[in-house]
């Protein structure tokens, strides 16, 4: 298969080809990530997301291996963002309780309902139109507290229904995601609610650090892969830059300078006016320290490339394919191969970061089809 020229723009952040992780340890420390993995891996609903090999695409790209970490079933919510919000809510609940009882209770005791009477008076709030809002709602239900999820006018009805199914109250705002965030902030101040966000103004905010710790579980799982299959490069959508920060930090904790090179991938229409999906400046700043480069891809090529696969995860479609498309496009470009150090032996990991919550008009029949077998592409 001949890969098309899908990369329309590229920006190199680090001239020497190596990421600069200097700020990462101050935002997400190794103990934070280890605590998150210890807690989350003990949840009854937890299962590590599968890593699928895509050998035909790897061969076409002229690399050793192309790995796709399928996040479409995470906690039954779908999407890599499913872990961060839930973990942050549980950590917040423990902090609130500590002020009342004088010590931090175990998160497992909170999940088991030991403090439900005290926590039912607490309300968390979030503005989101993606799986992060579902994650916050899931965490609130697990803790036994109240939850309000502010969604923009364009949010699909399927997402709103999923929020309600988690016993949270969806509040639709007449505006875009930025308007929903403003409305959430105002309501939280007026009602003494606790805002949980993955897009803060300050990277040192404890709630944001807890979100990153939850996201770092993805990298901890990937690190369990045999050393011979460890990625040399990781291509991630810039849209979910918080996940990229968490993964970069976790790889740095464990592998130091031997970790994979992180490349951010944007779709052409990602930051066009009106889509409400600009990357927060604090996140952008950190990403430029953690990543070696960013590439912009033409997503119109996603469909034809996906059509060549005999089998693919339900979530490997559209936006969820952005990172993989960036990897393929970079590997197909001699100039980018040289800049990014991609060779015939490279192992590239990509992330399916969005689940069914973002797919409009998903029917029960469609949801049934997401129960795929885990294994290699045939």
What is the Cα–Cα distance from 172 to 148, expressed in whole angstroms?
A: 10
Q: Interior CA angle at 242 toward 166 and 120, to 5°?
A: 30
- Supply 155's token pair: 């949010």
Which range of residues forms the domain containing residue 345?
A: 7-79+212-368
Q: What is the dihedral of CA 33, 246, 104, 181, to 10 degrees?
A: -170
What is the Cα–Cα distance from 371 to 378, expressed in whole angstroms?
A: 17
Q: Is 101 exposed, middle or buried (0-12, 13-18, 19+ CB in 10 A)?
A: exposed
Residue 320: pLDDT band with limits 50, 70, 90: low
- Supply 272's token pair: 């066009």
Percent of residues, the chain, with pLDDT higher than 90: 52
- Supply 358's token pair: 């973002």
Q: Do 59 and 110 reside in the same domain of the chain? A: no
Q: What is the pLDDT of residue 226?
A: 57
What is the Cα–Cα distance from 12 to 266, expressed in whole angstroms?
A: 14
* Three-state secondary-structure class, residue 253: helix
What is the Cα–Cα distance from 203 to 81, expressed in whole angstroms?
A: 17
Q: Do 263 and 174 reside in the same domain of the chain? A: no
> What does pTM read for this prediction?
0.86
Cβ contacts of residue 323 below 8 Å, gap of 6+?
235, 236, 237, 265, 350, 351, 353
Highest mean pLDDT among 101-115, 202-216, 298-312: 101-115
For 96, what's the count of Cα atoms within 13 Å in the CB-facing half-sphere?
24
Chain Cα centroid distance, residue 374: 20
Chain Cα centroid distance, residue 141: 21
Residue 275: pLDDT band with limits 50, 70, 90: very low
Q: Do 73 and 86 reside in the same domain of the chain? A: no
Q: Do 226 and 101 reside in the same domain of the chain? A: no
Q: Do 56 and 108 reside in the same domain of the chain? A: no
State how beta strands 65-70 and 194-195 pair. Answer: unpaired
pLDDT at 272 over 50: no
User: How many domains does the structure of the chain reveal?
Assistant: 2
Q: Do 124 and 221 reside in the same domain of the chain? A: no
* CATH for 180: 3.40.50.1100
């Amino acid at each position: 298969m001949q890969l098309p020229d899908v990369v329309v723009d590229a920006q190199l952040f680090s001239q020497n080809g190596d990421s600069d992780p200097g700020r990462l340890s101050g935002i997400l420390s190794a103990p934070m990530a280890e605590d998150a993995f210890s807690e989350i891996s003990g949840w009854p609903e937890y299962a590590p997301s599968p890593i699928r090999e895509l050998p035909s695409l790897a061969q076409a790209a002229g690399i050793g291996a192309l790995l796709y970490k399928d996040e479409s079933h995470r906690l039954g919510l779908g999407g890599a963002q499913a872990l961060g919000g839930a973990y942050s809510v549980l950590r917040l609940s423990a902090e609130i309780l500590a002020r009342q009882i004088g010590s931090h209770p175990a998160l497992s005791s909170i999940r088991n309902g030991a403090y439900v009477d005290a926590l039912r008076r607490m309300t968390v709030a979030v503005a989101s139109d993606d799986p992060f809002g579902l994650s916050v709602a899931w965490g609130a239900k697990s803790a036994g507290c109240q939850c309000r999820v502010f969604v923009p006018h364009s949010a699909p009805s399927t997402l709103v229904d999923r929020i309600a199914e988690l016993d949270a109250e969806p509040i639709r705002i007449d505006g875009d995601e930025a308007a929903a965030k403003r409305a959430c902030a105002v309501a939280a101040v007026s009602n003494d609610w606790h805002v949980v966000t993955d897009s803060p103004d300050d990277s040192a905010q404890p709630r944001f650090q807890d979100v990153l710790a939850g996201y770092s579980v993805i990298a901890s799982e990937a690190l369990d892969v045999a050393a011979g299959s460890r990625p040399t490069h990781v291509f991630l959508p810039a849209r979910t830059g918080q996940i990229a920060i968490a993964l970069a930090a976790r790889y740095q904790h464990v592998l130091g300078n031997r970790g994979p090179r992180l490349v951010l991938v944007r779709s052409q229409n990602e930051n066009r006016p009106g889509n409400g999906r600009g990357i927060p400046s604090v996140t952008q700043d950190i990403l430029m320290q953690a990543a070696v480069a960013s590439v912009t891809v033409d997503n119109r090529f996603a469909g034809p490339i996906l059509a060549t696969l005999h089998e693919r995860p339900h979530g490997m479609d559209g936006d969820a394919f952005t990172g993989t498309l960036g990897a393929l496009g970079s590997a197909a470009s001699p100039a980018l191969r040289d800049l990014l150090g991609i060779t015939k032996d490279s192992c590239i990991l990509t992330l399916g970061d969005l689940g069914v919550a973002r797919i409009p008009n998903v029917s029960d029949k469609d949801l049934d089809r997401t129960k795929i077998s885990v294994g290699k592409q045939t």
